[in-house]
Amino acid sequence: MTNISTKYLGFELKSPIIASSSDFTSNIESIIELEKAGCGAVVLKSIFEEQILMEIDSLRMNNMFNTYTDNENYIAYYTQKHELDKYLQLISDAKKQVSIPIIASVHCTTGGNWTEYLPKIQQAGADAVELNIFILPSNVLSSAAEIEEQYMTIINNVLQKTSLPLAIKIHHYFTNLANTLVELSKKVDSLVLFNRFFNPDIDIETERVKSGGSFSSPDDNFLIQRWVGILRPHTQKGIAASGGIHNAESMIKNILAGADAIQIATILYRKNISVITEMNQGLKNWMNAKKYDTIAAFKGKLSYKNTPNPSLYERAQFMKYFSDFKE
């Protein structure tokens, strides 16, 4: 019998498909449907460092009226606090109503006071925490080493506040990405490659900067496959591929490269939750055709270490690629 379970963050997931942070993971009804469709785990819709800092401020009552001086800020203060209370309740409710792992998610850029909130997340019943970290390397006065050290500081501070398994979702803006990924993997339980953030676009009619959209494209996954394949031989920690995975074929490619699990969001918006059942069945059909009984039997089969031509992971020159192309 074909077994599509996989190990990730110390858990045995019934499927390698993880629903990443999105509207689909923001309410208990959708989370229940995700489990029914065959999802292996869910990453709750993220809360932000700024929201948590407002919650921490609420515990310092003697500073409250100095911080919130007008009606607008006062209302915003209680709105944010209410949202964080709801987040903890969502964790608690999800743990009662589904059996799949519930992974809390926090967007952050520092390792500061917001980490005081992590024990509450753990007490609410979260199975793990995923930090969505992105420090845009836009400060011309900061060196690459200084930026990398910021990531390490965030992780170290978080590890002091919680004993939950820790995943970090990061981008690929590093001077030596291979070295950085390996060093970060020594600190955490899993790496999620890669995160997506707001991209600016320019409206030439209004002459204003606007959002460029946040949905992924299948082409985004080529970069992810490359780095999953390169990283896999260098760490025994978890690797989750995230970005541009829209069907069973792209899921299989990432597992062959070495991913333990994959994260999806865009395809849920485009096809709805039923796509998970479709992708799981596609994975089973492929495994049956290839006579693989388990995911472990082919995971990493085409990583940098195992592929017959590892230089394909390193090729970067446009003309070099097309020099090999034959019609």
Task: Give pLDDT, residue 71.
Answer: 46
| pLDDT tens per residue across span 264-293 | 999 999 999 999 999 999 999 999 999 999
Task: Give pLDDT, residue 76.
Answer: 47
What is the fold, at CATH topology level, of the domain defined by 6-323?
TIM Barrel (3.20.20)
Domain boundaries along the sequence of the chain: 6-323
Position 87 pLDDT exceeds 60: yes
Mean pLDDT of the chain: 89
Position 69 pLDDT exceeds 60: no
| pLDDT tens per residue across span 214-227 | 788 888 999 999 99
Q: Percent of the chain at pLDDT above 70?
A: 88
SS3 assignment for the chain: CCECCEEECCEEECCCEEECCCHHHCCHHHHHHHHHHCCCEEECCCEEHHHHHHHHHHCCHHHHHHHCCCHHHHHHHHHHHHHHHHHHHHHHHHHHHCCCCEEEEEEECCCCHHHHHHHHHHHHCCCEEEEEECCCCCCCCCCHHHHHHHHHHHHHHHHHHCCCCEEEEECCCCCCHHHHHHHHHCCCCEEEECCCCCCEEEECCCCEEEECCCCCCHHHHHHHHHHHHHHHHHCCCEEEEECCCCCHHHHHHHHHHCCCEEEECHHHHHHCCCHHHHHHHHHHHHHHHHCCCEHHHCCCCCCCCCCCCHHHHCCCCHHHHHHCCCC
| pLDDT tens per residue across span 40-63 | 999 999 999 988 887 766 655 444
Task: Give pLDDT, residue 318.
Answer: 59
